[in-house]
Amino acid sequence: MTLASSLRENKAVYAVAGAGDLAVEKLREVPEQVTRYQGKAREAASRYQGEVRETVERYRGEVRRTVDRYREEVDAKDLPGAAVAYVTHVGTRTVEFIDELTERGKRVVHREAAEAAAIAEADAAPAPKARVAQPRRPAPQARSAKKSDA
């Protein structure tokens, strides 16, 4: 088994290729998004600056009351079960995401391998012979029908 074939059968290689392809796709979208949201961010910042201060003061006391209420309701015995459920959910989503990256990576690797094979095939094919310029020969001159009288 060659190194290339063993790499092509490795799920981690496909996942890395898929992650790279996804990163490139998202990075290409960044300049457009930055310009689109730049104006909106400035407008929103100036509009909401005063409102934020008022809202923070209003909800500060309410948050304290809510936290105190939940402290009384939450039982420490429930925390390990909740943590296991959370970790299980995160693990499942992680496996799904890695599988998606792997499929994307397979497409990328196979596309690039096909392009490399096409390039190698084009390089290996004999080039068509170039035509060599032949020197032009003068066209035969037409003989006149008249013979000179001697």
pLDDT in tens, 30-87: 988 888 888 888 888 878 877 887 788 778 778 878 877 777 777 778 888 889 999 9
User: What are the Cα distances from residue 13, in Å, to 51, 95, 99, 100, 102?
Assistant: 50, 15, 12, 13, 8
Between residues 66 and 26, the one the model is more confident about: 26
- Asked if residue 39 is part of any domain, the answer here is yes
Residue 146 scores a pLDDT above 60: no
- Asked if residue 99 is part of any domain, the answer here is yes
Residues 120-136: what's their mean pLDDT? 67
Residues 3-8: what's their mean pLDDT? 66
Question: Which domain covers residue 99, as residue numbers?
Answer: 3-123
Query: Which pTM was predicted?
Result: 0.49
Distance (Å, rounded) from C-alpha 46 to C-alpha 34?
Answer: 18
- Asked if residue 145 is part of any domain, the answer here is no
Overall number of domains in the chain: 1
Residue 4: predicted pLDDT:
65
- Asked if residue 148 is part of any domain, the answer here is no
- Asked if residue 57 is part of any domain, the answer here is yes
For the stretch 46-55, contacts whose Cβ atoms lie closer than 8 Å and that sit 24 or more positions apart, written own/partner, are none
